[in-house]
Amino acid sequence: MSLVVRKSSPVVVRPSPETGTTRGTIKLSSFDKGLYNMPSTTLLVFEHPLHNAAETIRGALSRALAHYYPIASRIVVAGGGGGGSSGGGDVYIECNDEGVAFVAAHTDHALKEVICFDRSPAARKLLDQLAVYYPGMSCGPGDPLLLMQVTEFSCGGFVLGVTWNHGGADGAGMGQFLRAVGELSGGSPSPSVAPVRWDGSLPSLRPSVLEAQQHLLSLDPRCTTFEAALAVLWRCRTRAIRPDPEAPTLLVFLADMRKHAGAKEGYYGNCIVAQLVVDSDAVMAIRRAKDQLPDRLKEDEEGVVGRHELREIRAYDTLTVTSWRNLGFDRVDFGSGRPARVTASGKDLPPSPGAVGFLSDGRGGGVSVLSDLVRQEHADAFLAELAKFI
């Protein structure tokens, strides 16, 4: 099936004047640095009709930006660039109300006809039409911090595609923002959670943690459900791709540090770290790594993987994982109910070739998996290993 999505020209949505905004600058925290040019995309699939969905959401978006005014701003890199752990320059948000980009789109197809999630090349191309992306899949200093597209289908269902600069908010923060847009679209006078973008009480990440995180981002393209599923995938993938049992493989999962860092309620800036694991006992290694998360904030913490060892591991020997189950995207409601599905576009995979994202199914009963785990020559071996657990 050939899907034709007709898109309007992008328009700029600025904060509504009903709430006074604050000018000035917001310095990026150590959690933000290294992520300010990294885009992220989320697709929220709503099955139930919403009258004039694009205009309803656009109006609520403007009102939400009056409360979340830094999202309507621009990132500035001063002093010669970089802005990372090496101190090559300062990076901050200049609050200037320049606004975000918004696209209204529609298609003559019904949602059930065209939304498939088998992650075939054709399906990925289809999903790619449901969002707006930054040129070159990288965020420039003058780009909006948020790109939004609402695609309305002939059945009345719609898809909200949200692409944002990760330096402006992490996944939990963007989920909080979208829930606020939903609340305002339903007539609430203000968001139920007061937003906080600058929290001076947050500790600073050590340079070694930032260096490891930046290295991972530069790579080429209790036994919980998370621990069990991740352990199976990691073990099967490692056995499939590694003929030498002594060769190291690296597991990376992204963790929310809000409770460990003591972030204020409503904080929507970045508060995540990349936790690294190298071990043969997958479940226990993942559990130990989760237990060690508070240590990432300590000055004398050595880290799970040494710098030299980290740089010796190939991109293909790295499995990067993130869980979206608790980010709040599945609780967004613009007036016609919560999304039936939360997923990502085909373009929005983590940087290492072996990667998987756990995505909420929107109904609270399970998870689906977006994966790009192995090369073609390892596919049969991986599936054979996976079959042992089914």
List of long-range contacts for 15-18, beta carbons under 8 Å, 24+ apart: 15/62, 15/65, 15/66, 15/69, 15/72, 15/97, 15/99, 16/62, 16/63, 16/65, 16/66, 17/66, 18/63, 18/66
Residues 85 and 217 sit within 8 Å (Cβ to Cβ): no
Q: Give me the pLDDT at residue 226, please.
A: 65
**Active-site annotation holds for 333:** yes
Q: Which class for 121: exposed (0-12), middle (13-18), buried (19 or more C-beta within 10 A)?
A: exposed
Main-chain dihedrals φ then ψ at residue 358, nearest 5 degrees: -90, 120
Instruction: Provide the pLDDT for residue 137.
Output: 78
Q: Beta-carbon neighbour count of residue 25 at 10 Å? A: 16
- Contact call for residues 205 and 273 (beta carbons, < 8 A): yes
Q: What is the pLDDT of residue 85?
A: 42
Active-site pick, 106, 166, 256, 348: 166
Does 372 participate in catalysis according to the annotation? no
Cα separation values, 334 from 45, 123, 152, 271, Å: 12, 26, 14, 27
Q: What is the mean pLDDT of each successive set of 10 residues along the chain, which is 390 residues long?
A: 84 83 79 85 93 96 95 85 52 92 93 66 74 87 94 94 93 95 94 89 67 58 64 81 68 80 87 72 58 61 53 71 81 91 70 53 59 84 83
Strand, coil or helix: 334: coil
The overall longest dimension of the chain from CA atoms, in Å, is: 63
Domains plus CATH for the chain? Answer: 6-185 (3.30.559.10), 207-387 (3.30.559.10)
Q: 3-state SS of the chain: helix, strand, coil percent to 5?
A: 30, 20, 45
CA distance 15 to 184: 13
What's residue 154's pLDDT? Answer: 92
3-class secondary-structure state, position 93: strand
Structure confidence at residue 152 (pLDDT): 96
Q: Which among 115, 170, 132, 13 is positioned nearest to 339, based on CA atoms?
A: 115
**β partners of residue 104:** 150
pTM: 0.75
Closest CA to 119 of 324, 320, 355: 355
Q: What angle do CA 94, 32, 298 make, to 5 degrees?
A: 140
Pairing mode of beta strands 354-360, 367-372: antiparallel
Q: Catalytic one among 109, 333, 348, 378?
A: 333
Q: What is the pLDDT of residue 32?
A: 86
pLDDT at 90: 84
Residue 106 confidence (pLDDT): 94
CA 155/CA 210 separation, integer angstroms = 47
DSSP state of 135: G
